[in-house]
Amino acid sequence: MLLIKGVNGKVRLSKGDLIAIARGVKSSQIVAIGETLLKAGFKYIEVSLSDEQEGIACIRELSRRLGGDSALRLGAGTVTRKDLVDRALEAGAEYIITPGWDRELIKYIIRKKVPVFPGVLTPSEVMQALNEGLTQVKLFPVGNLKPGYIKNLKGPFPTVEFIGVGGVDTETIGTYYHAGCFAFAIGADLIPRQADLSVLPQIEKKAKEYLAVMKSLCKQ
């Protein structure tokens, strides 16, 4: 898979990048969903491990069927323990996203030289991430924050790039982009929970809408 790696396995997301979050999807359906997202233009797919067994199975299927030289960049999300890190990497995940800040877990992932985007919410958590050498972090749940909070958070941390996650849709993504988020991860509004083959047209349509919105925002 095509990841741009730096020191300690970090991957640098670019301005306007979008990550599709698959949560509650069966492994028997995930490859078709992945193919649909790739066709629409999405490169990043994060499989949530909120359902650990099915999530690992989804990662394994995506890696097996759409890995290798494809454009897919496959990650594991909702990673809360060291054993989940190991299982996700063994299944084929190439980067890790955590829901919140856990210094020992983050240090464990960094030692493995694996790209990691930790979840943060407060100035203290952003400081800890910076102290570990991480400048691209997941701001969660961004949909519950006022734009002013994000702008104020950017003030003392100008080098930090926030990935907005949680409660964002095509109508509100511009607000959070202008407030200071440079990339986003989109969940149920893009891939409904329990998604199956019947919603593939809906996923493709929504994916193209998100991509068009971000393309327009990045030109502003």
What CATH number did the domain enclosing 144 receive? Answer: 3.20.20.70
- pTM for the structure as a whole: 0.94
Is residue 64 predicted with pLDDT exceeding 90?
yes
Q: Tokens for 172?
A: 């509100």
Q: How distant, in Å, are the alpha carbons of 38, 129, 143, 145, 200 from that of 43?
A: 6, 25, 23, 27, 17
- The answer to the question of residue 5 being in a domain is no
Q: Any idea which residues carry the catalytic annotation?
A: 46, 138
Report the domain count for the chain.
1
Residue 4 within any structural domain of the chain: no
Separation CA 42–CA 92 (nearest Å)? 18
Single-letter code of the amino acid located at 22: A
pLDDT bin (cut points 50, 70, 90) of residue 112 is very high
- Residue ranges making up the domain that contains 70: 15-219
- Decide if pLDDT at 10 tops 70: no
Contact present, 207 and 36 (Cβ < 8 Å): yes
Q: Token digits for 180?
A: 């200071």
Return the closest-CA partner of residue 27 out of 82, 65, 77, 72: 65
d(C-alpha 219, C-alpha 143), whole Å: 23
